[in-house]
Amino acid sequence: MKARIVGLALGTIHRMDGSLAADRDGNRNGLVDLARRYPIRGVEITLGSLAQVRNLELSEENRRWLRSLDYVSIHGPLFGNGAGRGGSEGATLEKLERIYADCGAANIVLHPDRLPDASWMRETPCSLSIENLAASATADGERLGAVLSEFPKAGFCLDLSHAESGSAGEAGALISRFGHRLRQVHVSAAHGDLTHLRMRHASRGLRAAFHHLRVLGIPCLLEEDLADAVEVEEDLAILSSLLR
């Protein structure tokens, strides 16, 4: 059985005390400072916009810490869906590759309905993964399958909350269909159209998906919207327990 990596996405802590000041200018290095407080072995650097990619400047201390982890990924921003490498998007893709190298990342997560230039996706030395979206989003399982067919080197990022918002058992169905390409998991709960809820609200069906994830040993990262350190610690503990 593979080692189990528990971590969090920086988006989970972006509302916490001190995070807005740290993130004021779009440089998310301050969120990495906050993430270092927790007993985690994996981090996703959440970069929600082209500007946040361009503005990220990691401190040497944070760069060393990220390289010491078992797993680092980057959640890329929404791109122009193959509009080309010109202008700000081209500069953003170059910066994204530098960040990937600087922090020793293993994965860049992208949304299937807002992809960057197709030639870049085929040529980049970075490892890429495509995330499933919520049922109300443009991309569904068929769209995900089409994108993964178009880019055979890309992996799959399973977002449990998005899957759960679609239908009960959707997470298991996605694992069955795309599990051979699964590289990481975004962990949070859902209720109806509400996504990225705390794991204490997870349904029985969603918790059952961890039977598969325990065996696969895929990095599992909290991707919730938490307000304080106590919530982060509680939900990391829930995640760890589900992976035992």
Per-residue pLDDT of the chain (244 residues; tens, 9 = 90+): 456 899 999 999 988 766 654 555 578 999 999 999 999 999 999 998 998 999 999 999 999 999 999 999 999 999 975 555 556 789 999 999 999 999 999 999 999 989 999 999 999 999 999 999 876 443 467 889 999 999 999 999 999 999 988 777 788 889 999 999 999 999 999 988 889 999 999 988 889 889 889 888 999 999 999 989 999 999 999 999 999 8
Answer for the pair 147, 115: CB distance below 8 angstroms, yes or no. yes
Check if the beta carbon of residue 31 is closer than 8 Å to that of residue 19: yes
Look-up of token digits 């350190």: 229
Q: Within a 13 Å sphere around the CA of 171, how many CA atoms are in the beta-carbon half?
A: 28
Return d(Cα 102, Cα 157) in angstroms, integer. 22
For residue 123, what are its two tokens? Answer: 């040529």
Question: To which residue do tokens 């990391």 refer?
Answer: 236
CA distance linking residue 40 with residue 206, whole number of Å: 22
* Contact indicator for 220, 7 with CB cutoff of 8 Å: yes
The pLDDT score that the predictor gives to residue 12 is 95
List the Cα angle 232/235/137 in 5-degree steps. Answer: 95
Crossing angle, helix 170-178 and helix 141-150, to 10 degrees? Answer: 20
Domains of the chain (ranges; CATH) run 6-242 (3.20.20.150)
- For the record, the structure tokens of 119 come out as 């030639």
Rg of the Cα trace of the chain?
Answer: 17
